[in-house]
Amino acid sequence: MSGHPAPRAPFRPRRAGPRRVLVHIALFFLLGAISLGLGLQGRALLVGHAAQLEGSLLVDTLLEGAAQRLRGALVGEDSPQALARAVDTGISSRKRLLKVEIARQVQEDQPNQDIARMALDTLAQGVLARAGEEDRPALQALYEAQAPVLATGLGEAADQLERGFSLARVRLNLAVGVPNYPLMYYYTPLLALGAFLLLFAAALAYTYWRGDEEKRAAVGQRLEPMDYLLPFFMGVIAFTLFPMVRVVIMSFQERYRLDGSFAGWGLGNYEHVLQGVPGTTNYFLQGLSNTLLYVLFTVPLATALAIVIAYLLNQRLRFSALFQTGYFLPMVTSVTAVGLVWRWIFNRNFGVLNAILGWFGLAPVNWLHAASNSMTVLVIFGVWSSLPFTIILLLSGLQNIDETYYTVARVDGARAPRIFRRITVPLLAPTISLVLIINSISAFKVFTEVKVLFSGYAGPALNMYTMVYYIYDMMYEYRELGRAAAAAIVLFVFILAFTMMQRWIQRRWQYE
């Protein structure tokens, strides 16, 4: 034993090494297996549930169908009451036992035709047993004449039920209370996720066992950021990307229904949205022109006003906290609640606005119920509600401007208007452009304001459709999901084009 301490291992910087890849392979494999397993289990449960559901539906159809058809065949409008009663009691006397028998035969997968005949026969026997002596021969003759037709009809009805029965339909009609509802309802994404993770694990495993040390380390390094991104990204995929893709697809599916069925692929939705129904108002085009007008009025007005207000708020004013609270109030209030307040402000007889106009000797204006004033009202409300956010952004932009610019300019003799025009505004340009884009996008999406101001209608004379209002209408009033999706895509194209145009223009007057 020497007195020297053992030599320390040479220092190596910590680095995500190849072992990280192994951990990932194991992890992805495990998660993939779990997800796949859950998906498969969900599917099995759903299939079981569907079979059960189908069986009981089939039994019910056959039983009730047989009862109804038999009664229909034996009892007419003019039959005496006694006969009708005898038929009814006869049918119900056999029903309970018959149900068991039908269930047994359905289980055994007997042809529906045969089960139907058996059911009709059983019920008919019951009826004959209850019928009076004098009626019996006539009833028997009547039944025997009709039986083949009745049985065929009932068998076909049952066949049709079976044919129309799909797993997808069962899944979409699944009640939330059903045990294991999430597993059964979401088995497809679970299967997809599981398959994806397993494939990914397999791909990683391949790189790991085929690649050299260097390659493994590189893969490990590459994987690290994914650890942090993936959990969040899952949410983005599920709730943002997937719906986006789905909307695009849906816009080409004509007559798309919530149960997933649709009439066919095509441009019909777009055609309907853009052309409307011939001879009637095209509310989409109305919405388009209203939206464009709204954007063109609201955005510049709100931005200009916000610049002035932000500039004033940025001065060291007395009571500036009070002013700030006042201007930022719309931000913390709900559009719906405030919209109701604005309905009062705009009220023809009791409204504040008309009262103020009255001070100046102006006649009261029918703000809310005259179609010609609708846009004015909407723009006023829109400007008001978009002010606070705009002011906050601009105020922060103003506060980023160094005080010394103003000092130098003041010492050089510049007065406030020139400083504002030549220094403040140009230095604020990046913020202004940001504000313009954000405000335009949100103005393009105007909906709640209309809905609230005009008491749940698109304007007093259905004259205030906006693009989103149209989408809403298509979606919730007409249940035309495909058309709503097509309108949404058109809106998207407009916003995109508008924003690109704005950026292109602004690039010309920005200093950076």
Partner 1 sequence: MQVRMEGLTKHFGATRAVQDFTVTLASGELVCLLGPSGCGKSTVLNMLSGIVPVTAGKIYFDEEDVTNLPPEQRGIGLVFQNYALYPHMTVMGNITFPLEIQKVPPREREARAREMADLVHMGGLLARKPRQLSGGQQQRVAIARALVKNPRLLLLDEPLSNLDARLRLEMREEIRRIQQETRVTTIFVTHDQEEAMSISDHIVLMKDGFLQQHAAPQELYNQPANQFVADFLGNPPINNFEGSISGGCFVMADGARVCLPGFAALKEGQEVRLAVRAESFVLAEGPAGDRLACRVDSVYQMGKEEMAVLTFGGTPLRAYIPSEEGLKPGDQVHLGLKDRGVFLFDSHTGERYL
| Cβ closest to partner 1, residue 219 vs residue 307 | 307
Asked whether the beta carbons of 458 and 469 are under 8 A apart, the reply is yes
**3-class secondary-structure state, position 253:** strand
User: Residues 198, 22: contact at Cβ < 8 Å?
Assistant: no
State the minimum distance, in angstroms, from the CB of residue 429 to partner 1: 7
Least Å distance, CB 508 to partner 1, is 13
Q: Which conformational region is residue 165 in: left (phi greater than 0), alpha (psi within -120 to 50 degrees), or beta?
A: beta
Phi, psi of 465, rounded to the nearest 5 degrees: -60, 140
Quote the least distance from Cβ 425 to partner 1, whole Å: 9
# residues near partner 1 by CB under 8 A: 19
Q: Which is nearer to partner 1, 360 or 511 (CB)?
A: 511
CB nearer to partner 1: give 251 or 431: 431
Q: Which is nearer to partner 1, 333 or 407 (CB)?
A: 407
Of the pair 213, 512, the CB lying nearest partner 1 is at: 512
Q: Closest separation between CB of residue 402 and partner 1, Å?
A: 7
CB of 423 to partner 1, least distance (A): 6
Nearest to 124 by CA among 75, 59, 158, 57: 75
The nearest distance, CB 415 to partner 1, in angstroms, is 8
In total, the chain counts a number of residues equal to: 512
Q: Which of 250, 273, 274 is nearest to 263 (CA)?
A: 250
Cβ(340)–Cβ(452) under 8 Å? yes
Return the number of other C-beta atoms located less than 10 Å from residue 259's C-beta: 12
Three-state secondary structure call for residue 264: strand
Beta bridge partners of 151: none
**Sole window of 68-76, 275-283, 399-407, 464-472 interacting with partner 1 (rule: CB under 8 A):** 399-407
Determine, following the binding rule CB under 8 A, whether residue 512 of this chain makes contact with partner 1: yes
Both tokens of 472, joined, read 């809403």
Min CB(510)–partner 1 separation in Å: 8
Nearer CB in complex with partner 1: 134/512: 512
Q: What is the smallest separation between the CB atom of 403 and partner 1, expressed in angstroms?
A: 9
Q: Which is nearer to partner 1, 237 or 429 (CB)?
A: 429
User: How near is the Cβ of 210 to partner 1 at its closest, in Å?
Assistant: 50
Please give the residues from 492 up to 511 whose contact with partner 1 meets the rule CB under 8 A.
511
As a whole number of angstroms, the distance between CA 221 and CA 17 comes to 7
SS3 assignment, position 402: coil
Question: Of the two residues 261 and 407, which places its CB atom closer to partner 1 in the complex?
Answer: 407
For partner 1, give the closer residue by CB, 40 or 427: 427
C-alpha to C-alpha distance for 379 and 376, rounded to whole angstroms? 5
C-alpha angle with apex 113: 109 to 114, nearest 5 degrees? 70
For the chain, the 3-state helix, strand and coil shares in percent, each to the nearest 5, are: 75, 0, 25
Q: Which of residues 400-439 bind partner 1 (CB under 8 A)?
A: 402, 404-405, 407-414, 418, 422-423, 426-427, 429
Contact in structure between 60 and 119 (CB atoms under 8 Å): no
Using CB under 8 A, which residues numbered 250 to 279 contact partner 1? Answer: none
The span from the CA of 334 to the CA of 338, in Å, is 6
Strands of 208-356 (E only): list them: 253-254, 264-265
Question: Would you tell me which residues interact with partner 1 (CB under 8 A)?
Answer: 402, 404-405, 407-414, 418, 422-423, 426-427, 429, 511-512
